[in-house]
Amino acid sequence: MTRKPLAILAGALLAVTAACTAPGSTPAAPAGSGAGGGATGSITIGIKFDQPGLGLKEGSGYSGFDVEVAKFVASELGYSANQITWKEAPSAQRETLIEGGQVQLVFATYSITDARKQRVSFAGPYFIAGQDLLVRADDTSITGPDALNGKKLCSVTGSTSAKKIKDTYSQGVDLQELDTYSKCVTALAAGTLDAVTTDNVILAGYAAQDQYKGKLKVVGKTFSTERYGVGLKKGDTALCTKVNTAIAKMVSSGAWQTALDKTVGPSGFKPSGDNPPKADPCS
């Protein structure tokens, strides 16, 4: 009577032992090493794909200051460069991409604003820019935002740049909103509109592109303060704190300045004296 249950018990024990031994016999794969890495083994980061000097995709390569800061931060979080998946994050889609979990972090010339804080949280800021205007090099009529009456102006849907024009300078301005700044710049160079507005550092990157050299100029009269933050899931204070620690390290080590010189430097753009900024507390 006792034999049978014992045999069953022994068999069960064997099975349990086998089950425990098999995976244990090879060291657990470090998070993210190859196919078995799972969700913790990679990170998806939202950037711009069409902003030279900030976030630019060329072939399979990515360059720009946002990309450099993102790589540094990701590395501090434990992700190597090949564990990063880059995803395009157009201005109007940034909050939605974060809310839906399609990206974990956004480094995309993404200004920290109270309205956006209703939906996402921000680490940083890691850079301070200001809104400006891009015009054709021979245009002497557009000297600043007050000189836009009767002009065709282009900006991007969901940006602080378009909002500022609508809130403050809309009277008499014909504002067109497209989904990317590069489309605005193409139209400006082609003569179908008169000016493009967004952050000075972005505009400087376009003006310095080979195809636009000598054809476009940044007006140079900024009319806003744009504090670039790192977008992340609303309320993830732990992640925000880690990102801020990483950014502080990037600044204190000199890597922030080196990255800026390498990416934004070639356009000739001179960042304002507010840089590098101090991070806001995470909340």
Q: Residue 195 in contact with residue 135, Cβ under 8 Å?
A: yes
Q: Figure out which of the listed residues 83, 93, 159, 222 binds ligand GLU, where binding follows CB under 6 A.
A: 159
Binding piece for ligand GLU, criterion CB under 6 A, among 98-106, 152-160, 170-178, 185-193: 152-160
SS3 of residue 194 by DSSP: coil
CB of 92 to ligand GLU, least distance (A): 9
Distance of CA 46 to the CA centre of its chain: 5
222 scored as a contact of ligand GLU (CB under 6 A): no
226 scored as a contact of ligand GLU (CB under 6 A): yes
CB of 266 to ligand GLU, least distance (A): 20
Q: How many CB atoms within 10 Å of residue 4? A: 8
**Interhelix angle for 200-207 vs 181-190, to 10°?**
50
182 scored as a contact of ligand GLU (CB under 6 A): no
Closer Cβ to ligand GLU, 41 or 277, answer by number: 277
Rule CB under 6 A: which of 71-130 touch ligand GLU? 91, 108-111
Q: Residue 151 in contact with residue 129, Cβ under 8 Å?
A: no
Closer Cβ to ligand GLU, 104 or 109, answer by number: 109
In this structure, which amino acid lies at residue 171? Q
SS3 of residue 210 by DSSP: helix
Closer Cβ to ligand GLU, 141 or 157, answer by number: 157
180 scored as a contact of ligand GLU (CB under 6 A): no
Q: Residue 249 in contact with residue 172, Cβ under 8 Å?
A: no
CB of 91 to ligand GLU, least distance (A): 4
Please name the residue ranges forming H helices in the chain: 3-24, 65-76, 94-99, 114-117, 160-164, 181-190, 200-207, 237-252, 255-263
- What does the alpha-carbon distance between residue 281 and residue 241 come to, in Å, rounded to a whole number? 8
Closer Cβ to ligand GLU, 160 or 244, answer by number: 160
224 scored as a contact of ligand GLU (CB under 6 A): no
160 scored as a contact of ligand GLU (CB under 6 A): yes
Per the listing, tokens 């590395």 go with 75
Q: Which residue is nearest to ligand GLU (CB)?
A: 159
CB of 31 to ligand GLU, least distance (A): 32
DSSP annotation of 149 reads: T
Q: Figure out which of the listed residues 93, 104, 161, 244 binds ligand GLU, where binding follows CB under 6 A.
A: 161
- What does the alpha-carbon distance between residue 240 and residue 248 come to, in Å, rounded to a whole number? 12
199 scored as a contact of ligand GLU (CB under 6 A): yes
156 scored as a contact of ligand GLU (CB under 6 A): yes
CB of 140 to ligand GLU, least distance (A): 26
In this structure, which amino acid lies at residue 260? L
Judged by the rule CB under 6 A, the positions of this chain that interact with ligand GLU are: 91, 108-111, 156, 159-161, 198-199, 226
